[in-house]
Amino acid sequence: MIKSGIYLDYAATTPMDKEVLELVHKTNILEYGNPGSLHRPGRLAKKQIEKARTEIAGHLQADPNEIIFTGSGTEADNLAILGVARAHKHHGKHIIISAIEHKAVLESALRLKNDGFEVSYAPVDKNGILDIAKFKKLLRPDTILVSVMYANNEIGTIQPICAIAKTLLSFKQKTGYPLFHTDACQTAGTLSLDVKALGIDLLTINGSKIYGPKGVGCLYLKHGINLESQIVGGDQEWHKRAGTENVSLIVGIAKALDIAVSKQESENARLSHLRDYFIDKIQKTIPQVHLNGHPTKRLPNNINFSFAGIEGESLVLLLDQAKIYCSTGSACSSLDLSPSHVLLAIGLTPELAHGSLRITLGRETTKKDMDTTIRELTKIVNHLRNISSVKIYEKK
Amino acid sequence: MKKSKQPKEKKQRSKILAPLGDVGDWLYSNIVKKHFLSPQNFLVDDKKYKADGIGMVGSPACGDMMIVWIKVDKKSQRIKECKWRTFGCASAIASTSIMSVMVTEKGGMELSKAIHLKPEQIVDRLGGLPDRKFHCSVLGQDALRNAVEDYLVNEKTSK
């Protein structure tokens, strides 16, 4: 990455790892064949895909033929939710998703609703953790699918996936339902992806969050689970995802995951240290700040604050002017002008939801970046509070 | 010579791109940028400020809230001073800022004109706003109208 300014939006997307970039480029030139072709260029391309599939499966403790490549994390989520529901509707037409899912899952569920399915939204507590007791009450004999994201993209809260899987066991022993999907886009390269230990049936990964290429994702689908393909055409990916495979991007996502996993332990330690340093400093220097998400059960790279009396888009744009790049859950930043559903679900007032700032760290982030950001952020918050019509904080 | 050509080009571009909310290398027009980065006439401390009229619109829950203070020259019935504070996004801040400039420039705007100021006039002066941000200019104009109406009521009761 060319370092111009301080990029702190790694949860939105990561710059591509240099090694991955070179591999993608090389593969693009060498493996031009269609993996579906019988001839040598085709076979060579096919070989690369299967090698990538085996590598990814290895990190998930899965079999290679349980991995389906898609065009993005969103597509993998769509395939999981729509594909499972549509293939299993003979058993029931009820699904449960958490209230803080990514839009890729939320909108899939909404589509199912329009198709006559019932959707229940499992609530989360003030830290964003799924309320298992309330979740249990939502389970029904006709529940075919549960989807809870591994860690939230906005507030970084990590869900107790194993515990949720356990509560499903008693239901599953009788009928095999509900199937359990998790969106792990934010956790790949950060937390364990061992699908057996997690007790997961379907899991989504995305290339662009792990220093890999954009435009590629994959879905783990446990053996024996039927799924209706959402893109139809050729018989690629066992008839579950049609379309000529994008060989270079598939090779790229596998390499990216490989590198991310190898750096996992050291990066987690380094980033959680920087994260805690930043959170502590901000809480000490800026009055009336609210940390969103769980204090400890959060991604090592996630910081999310709400600043009383100011609006997030202004904050992000002034930081942008200072060459510091982060994001907000404010309504003004979104096209539909409604504040983030995640922040509202954890019980934030609309005002605080409007004043949120997400800072996500990554491989290039240094302590110096943190100090610069703390300094600039303090100045900007002061300025915006000075011109704000909401005077609810104590002036020194 | 380059300079004389540039503004023309930019004006054309902003017309085409403004509805998309993407002008040049910034999110909004250059005038919005200017007023957002260096807002004019905002009032930090209103405790000692003696306004002739005060107007307030919006709420923090909605994501936008503005307060406008005006001072009026009683003889000419023109706005002498216009101060404000805004909780909101860049275009809300810029809308209030440019509105405060518009009503105080050239010897001040007549109250009869100020009360009928249109959001479109604010948007034009800003060099355009994306459609979804149009409400920011409406809020600015509402706050001003409220301040003028407040002044008129104050005048009546003091007589």
Spell out the domain ranges in chain A.
6-11+264-386, 18-259
Interface contact flag, A313 B61, Cβ < 8 Å: no
| Beta carbons of A332 and B63 less than 8 Å apart | yes
Residue among B23, B54, B102, B136 flagged as catalytic = B136
Mean pLDDT of chain A, nearest integer? 94
CA atoms of A150 and A335, how far apart (whole Å): 26
Topology of domain B18-158, per CATH?
A: Sufe protein. Chain: A (3.90.1010)
Contact B96, B35 (CB under 8 A): no
Domain map of chain B by residue range?
Answer: 18-158
Give the ipTM: 0.84
Q: Which two tokens stand for residue A236?
A: 């690629």
Q: Which residues contact A307 (CB under 8 A, 6 or more apart)?
A: A286, A288, A289, A290, A315, A355, A357, A381, A384, A385
Is 70 exceeded by the pLDDT of residue B22? Answer: no
- Tokens standing for residue A132: 């298992």
pLDDT tens for each residue of A190-228: 999 999 999 999 999 999 999 999 999 999 999 999 999
Say yes or no for a CB contact (<8 Å) between B93 and A387.
Answer: yes
For domain A6-11+264-386, the CATH architecture is Alpha-Beta Complex (3.90)
Mean pLDDT to the nearest integer, A90-113? 97
Q: What pLDDT is stored for residue A330 in this prediction? A: 73
> Does the annotation count B62 as an active-site position?
yes
The predicted model gives A76-99 an average pLDDT of: 97
Instruction: Say whether B89 is catalytic.
Output: no
Does the predicted model carry a pTM greater than 0.80? yes
Give the pLDDT confidence score for residue B15 in this predicted structure. 40
Tens of pLDDT, residue by residue over A240-288, are 999 999 999 999 999 999 999 999 999 999 999 999 999 999 999 999 9
Burial class (CB in 10 A: 0-12, 13-18, 19+), A93: middle
Q: Which residues of B touch A317 (CB under 8 A)?
A: 27, 36, 90
The distance of A343 to chain B (nearest Cα, Å) reads: 13
Residues pairing with A177 in the sheet: none
Q: Which of B86, B87, B100, B129 to mutate to test the interface with A (most CBs of A within 10 A)?
A: B87
pLDDT band at A1 (very low <50, low <70, confident <90, very high): low
- Report the pLDDT value the prediction gives residue A358, as an integer from 0 to 100: 96
Q: Is residue A154 predicted with pLDDT exceeding 70?
A: yes
Output the CA–CA distances (angstroms, integers) from residue A307 to A119, A369, B48, B87, B94, in the order listed.
34, 21, 27, 12, 21
Domain A18-259 has CATH 1.10.357.10: no
